[in-house]
C-alpha cells in the first residue's frame, strides 16, 4: 500500500473512531501533500505544455520518498512551535505539538530518534 493511501485510510479510521487530534494531524498532512502535488503539477505543466490531464496527474503524483519529505517538514514546523511555546511558558500547547509529532512519526519511523 502506498503511503498516501495509508494516510487516507487512517484518516477515515480516525474520523470513525472520533480521534480528534489524529484526524486534525492527518488532515493537515494530507492537505500539505495535496499542495505539494499542485506545485509539482504546475512545474510539469510548464515542462510539458501539450500534455493532457491524465499525463499531468501521473507526473504530479508524489512518491513515498517525497511524502516523507513533507512529513519531515511538518515535524520541523512543530518542533519550532514547541520551542516558541516553551519560551512563552505554554506547556499545554508544547505538549499538543509533541503529541502531533508522535502521530507523524508513525508514518516515517526512520525519523524516530
Angstrom distance (rounded) from CA 108 to CA 8: 15
- In order of 38, 43, 69, the CA distances from 26 in angstroms are 18, 26, 15
pLDDT tens, position by position, 45-86 = 888 888 788 887 888 888 899 999 999 999 999 999 999 999
Angstrom distance (rounded) from CA 23 to CA 75: 16
Please give the grid coordinates belonging to residue 6: 495509508
The domain spans of the chain are 3-107
State the pLDDT confidence band at 1, using cuts at 50, 70 and 90: low
pLDDT score recorded for residue 48: 80
Q: 3-107 belongs to which CATH class?
A: mainly alpha
- High-pLDDT (> 70) share of the chain, %: 96
Three-class SS string for the chain?
CCHHHHHHHHHHHHHHCCCHHHHHHHHHHHHHHHHHHHHHHHHHHHHCCCCCHHHHHHHHCCCHHHHHHHHHHHHHHHHHHHHHHHHCCCHHHHHHHHHHHHHHHCCCHHHCC
Amino acid at each position: 500500500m502506498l503511503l498516501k493511501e495509508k494516510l487516507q485510510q487512517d484518516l477515515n479510521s480516525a474520523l470513525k473512531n472520533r480521534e480528534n487530534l489524529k484526524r486534525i494531524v492527518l488532515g493537515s498532512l494530507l492537505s500539505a501533500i495535496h499542495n505539494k502535488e499542485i506545485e509539482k503539477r504546475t512545474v510539469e505543466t510548464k515542462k510539458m505544455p501539450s500534455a493532457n490531464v491524465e499525463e499531468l496527474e501521473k507526473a504530479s503524483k508524489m512518491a513515498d520518498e517525497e511524502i516523507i519529505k513533507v512529513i519531515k517538514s511538518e515535524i520541523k514546523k512543530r518542533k519550532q512551535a514547541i520551542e516558541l511555546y516553551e519560551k512563552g511558558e505554554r506547556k499545554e500547547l508544547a505538549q499538543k505539538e509533541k503529541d502531533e509529532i508522535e502521530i507523524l512519526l508513525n508514518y516515517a519511523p526512520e525519523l524516530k530518534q
